[in-house]
Chain A
Amino acid sequence: MSTRIVVDPITRIEGHLRIEADIENGKIKDAYSSGTMVRLLEEILKGRDPLDAWAYVGRVCGVCTSIHSLASVRCVEDALGIVVPPNAELVRNIMNAALYMHDHVVHFYHLHAMDWVDVVNALKADPKKTSELAQSISHWPKSSPGYFSDLQKRITKFVESGQLGIFSNGYWGHPAYKLPAEVNLIGLAHYLEALEWQKEMVKVQTIFGGKNPHPNYLVGGIACAISTDDISGLNAERLAYVGQLMNDGKKFIEQVYIPDLMAIASFYKDWGAIGGGLGNYMAYGDFPTNGYRDVASYKFPQGVILNKDISKVMDVDMRKDDEIQEFIDNSWYEYKGSGGLHPWKGESKIKYTGPKPPFENLDTTQKYSYLKTPRWKGNAVEVGPLARVLVGYARGREDFKAVVDKALTDLNVPVTALFSTLGRTAARGLESVLVAQWGLEFYDQLIENIKKGDTRMAESKMRDSSNWPDKALGVGHAEAPRGALAHWINIEDEKIANYQLVVPTTWNASPRDAKDRYRLMKQLSGIHQSPTPNSRLKFSERYIHSTPAWPVLYTCMMKKENTLTASAYWANNL
Chain B
Amino acid sequence: MQNRLLIMGIGNYLMGDEGVGVHAAERLQQAGLPAHVDVVDGGTGGFHLLSYFEKYPRVILVDATLDGNPAGTIRLIKPRFASDFPKAMSTHDIGLKDMMSSLQLLGQIPEIHLFVVSIATIQQQGVELTPEVEAIMPGLLNKITELANTLEPEQEPAG
* A contact set with B: CB distance below 8 Å: 9, 11-16, 37-41, 43-44, 56, 59-63, 65, 106, 110-111, 158, 163, 165-167, 192, 195-196, 198-200, 202-203, 211-214, 569
Contacts and interface: CB of A to CB of B under 8 A. Distances in A.
Nearest to A199: B51
Nearest to B12: A59
A538 B104 CA distance: 29
Interface stretch (B66-74, B88-96, B130-138, B142-150): B88-96
Contacts of A12: 93-94
Contacts, number: 112
Contacts of B126: 40, 43-44
Contacts of A9: 93
25 contacts: A13-B93, A15-B93, A37-B91, A38-B123, A38-B125, A39-B125, A44-B14, A44-B126, A59-B14, A60-B14, A62-B12, A62-B45, A62-B94, A63-B46, A65-B43, A111-B94, A163-B104, A166-B98, A166-B101, A166-B102, A195-B47, A195-B102, A199-B50, A213-B45, A214-B43
Contacts of B41: 211, 214
A44 B50 contact: no
Nearest to B123: A37
A16 B81 contact: no
B127 interface: yes
A195 B98 CA distance: 12
Contact of B105 (A158, A213, A569): A158
A165 B100 contact: yes
Contacts of A59: 12-14, 43-44
Nearest to B125: A40
B102 to A, nearest CB: 6
B106 A196 contact: yes
B104 A165 contact: yes
Interface in B13-69: 13-15, 40-51, 54
B82 interface: yes
Given A59-B43, A199-B50, A199-B54, A165 B92 contact: no
B83 interface: yes
A119 B94 CA distance: 20
B93 A166 contact: no
Given A38-B125, A44-B126, A14 B93 contact: yes
A63 B91 CA distance: 13
B122 interface: yes
Contacts of B50: 195, 198-199
Contact of A213 (B48, B104, B127): B48
A41 B126 CA distance: 8
Given A13-B93, A62-B45, A212-B48, A39 B82 contact: no
B57 to A, nearest CB: 16
Contacts of A211: 40-41
A213 B125 contact: no
Given A59-B12, A163-B83, A213-B43, A11 B93 contact: yes
A60 B125 CA distance: 12
Interface string B70-88: 0000000000011100000
Interface of B: 12-15, 40-51, 54, 81-83, 91-95, 98, 100-102, 104-106, 122-123, 125-127
A433 B46 CA distance: 24
A280 B40 CA distance: 42
B102 A106 contact: no
Contacts of A166: 82, 98, 101-102, 104-105
Contacts of A111: 94
A60 B40 CA distance: 18
Nearest to B54: A199
B81 to A, nearest CB: 5
A195 B101 CA distance: 11
B48 A43 contact: no
Contacts of A39: 12, 14-15, 125
A8 B127 CA distance: 26
B48 A62 contact: yes
A62 B92 contact: yes
Contacts of B100: 165
A229 B102 CA distance: 38
B46 A62 contact: yes
B83 A16 contact: no
Contacts of B45: 62-63, 65, 212-214
B82 A43 contact: no
Contacts of A213: 42-45, 48-49
A353 B104 CA distance: 44
A569 B94 contact: yes
B17 to A, nearest CB: 13
B106 A195 contact: yes
A165 B49 contact: no
Contacts of A196: 106
Contacts of B14: 39, 41, 44, 56, 59-60
Contacts of B12: 39, 59, 62
Contacts of A212: 45, 48
Contacts of A15: 91, 93
A14 B122 CA distance: 14
Given A165-B102, A213-B49, 13 more contacts: A14-B92, A39-B15, A43-B125, A44-B125, A62-B45, A62-B92, A163-B104, A165-B83, A165-B104, A165-B105, A195-B47, A202-B48, A214-B43
A12 B98 CA distance: 9
A59 B18 CA distance: 12
Nearest to B19: A59
Contacts of B81: 163, 165
A195 B125 CA distance: 33
B48 A16 contact: no
Q: Name which of B54, B82, B104, B105 has the most chain A CB atoms within 10 A of its CB.
A: B105
B29 to A, nearest CB: 12
A163 B79 CA distance: 13
Contacts of A62: 12, 43-46, 48, 92, 94-95
Contact of B51 (A37, A110, A192, A202): A202
A196 B43 CA distance: 21
Contacts of B93: 9, 11-15, 569
A198 B94 CA distance: 15
Nearest to B10: A62
A301 B87 CA distance: 44
B145 to A, nearest CB: 22
A437 to B, nearest CB: 24
B119 to A, nearest CB: 14
A39 B54 CA distance: 32
